[in-house]
Amino acid sequence: MSNMRNGCSMLSATFPLACFRLACRAIALLLVLISIEPALAETVEVAPGVRVTKKVYSAPANEQPFYGFAEKSAAMREADERFLTSIVQLTGSREKAFHATTLRGWRALGSGNASEAARRFNEAFLLMPEESEVYHGLAAVAQTRFNDIEFAEELFEVARKQPNPLKTLNADYGRVLLIAKRPHEAQSVLEQAVKDTPDFGDAWTNLAWARLQNGDSAAACAAANEAGKQHPSSNASADLAALRSGTQCK
C-alpha cells in the first residue's frame, strides 16, 4: 500500500485533482479484480451438444468419469475400437451392448463396488455417449466414490435432458440433494420421483424426509406410510423407522 500511495502522490504533482483520484481508483479496482477473480472451470464436450466440467481425481483413468478426460494415444483409441467391435458382435447390436454394460454398472454399484461401476459406465459412454443413463451412472460414481456432490448434481442435470432416462433418475437425484442438505430442491425432485416410480419405497422414504425437513410433518407421515407399503430397501427401512419415531407418525 505504501508504494501505491507514493505512486498516487507522484501523479498528484502532475495531474489535476480529478484525474489523480480517477487514476488511483482505477489502480485499486484492478488490484481487487486480480486478487479475487476465480479461475474459470474448464468444460469439455463429451457428446454432441453436451459439455461437462472437467473433473480429475486421484484414481486410475478408467475408474474416473469420462476416463478422467485423459488424452488418448493412438494405441488407446485402437483398443477402444476393438472393445466396441467385440462387444457389439457378442451381444448383437450396439443398443444391446449398451444395456448389458449399464446393467453390470448398476449391479456393481449395488454391491458397493464403485470402481467396477465406473469402468462399466465409461464403457457405456464409449458405446452411446448421448444416453441419459451414462450421466446418471457416472453421477452416482462421482457421489459414492469421490464424494463430489457438485459434479454429481451437474451430471444428474445433464441426465435429465438426455434421451431415455431411467424411471429412477429423479429418485436418485433427489437423494443426492438431500445428502447435500438442500431439502427444498430435493422435495421438488422427489415429488416427481414418486410419480415416476410410485412403487419405489426408497423414493417415498426420501420424500418423507424432505417434507419433514421443510416443516411439513403431516405430509412427511403420509409419505412414510406410503413408503411402508412399497417394501423399501433395508437402509431405507431403518431411515423410515427413525423418521416415524421422531415425528410420532401413527
**Cell triple for 109:** 454399484
Share of the chain above pLDDT 90, in %: 78
Rounded Cα–Cα distance for residues 245 and 30 (Å): 57
Q: What is the pLDDT of residue 245?
A: 83
The mean pLDDT value for 222-243 works out to 92
Rounded Cα–Cα distance for residues 242 and 250 (Å): 13
With 70 as the cut, is the pLDDT of residue 125 above it?
Answer: yes
Contact present, 162 and 135 (Cβ < 8 Å)? yes
- For 71-82, b/e burial (b = at least 16 CB within 10 A) is eeeeeeeeeeee
The CB density around residue 181, as the number of other CB atoms within 10 Å, is 9
Q: Which residue intervals of 37-168 are DSSP H helices? A: 74-91, 94-110, 114-127, 132-144, 149-161
Higher pLDDT, residue 12 or 103: 103
With 80 as the cut, is the pLDDT of residue 163 above it?
Answer: yes
Rounded Cα–Cα distance for residues 162 and 160 (Å): 6
Q: What is the pLDDT of residues 184-228, one digit of tens each?
A: 999 999 999 999 999 999 999 999 999 999 999 999 999 999 999
Q: What is the pLDDT of residues 104-122, one digit of tens each?
A: 999 999 999 999 999 999 9
Q: What is the pLDDT of residue 25?
A: 72
Mean residue pLDDT of the chain comes to 89
The mean pLDDT value for 43-56 works out to 98
Q: What is the pLDDT of residues 164-181, one digit of tens each?
A: 999 999 999 999 999 999
Q: What is the pLDDT of residue 89?
A: 97
Rounded Cα–Cα distance for residues 2 and 102 (Å): 63
Q: Which residues contact 191 (CB under 8 A, 6 or more apart)?
A: 207
Q: What is the pLDDT of residue 2?
A: 46
Q: What is the pLDDT of residues 5-45, one digit of tens each?
A: 444 444 444 446 665 566 667 676 655 444 444 456 899 99
pTM for this structure? 0.83
Q: What is the pLDDT of residue 43?
A: 97
Q: What is the pLDDT of residue 7?
A: 44
With 80 as the cut, is the pLDDT of residue 143 above it?
Answer: yes
Q: What is the pLDDT of residue 20?
A: 57
Binned at pLDDT 50, 70 and 90, residue 135 comes out as: very high
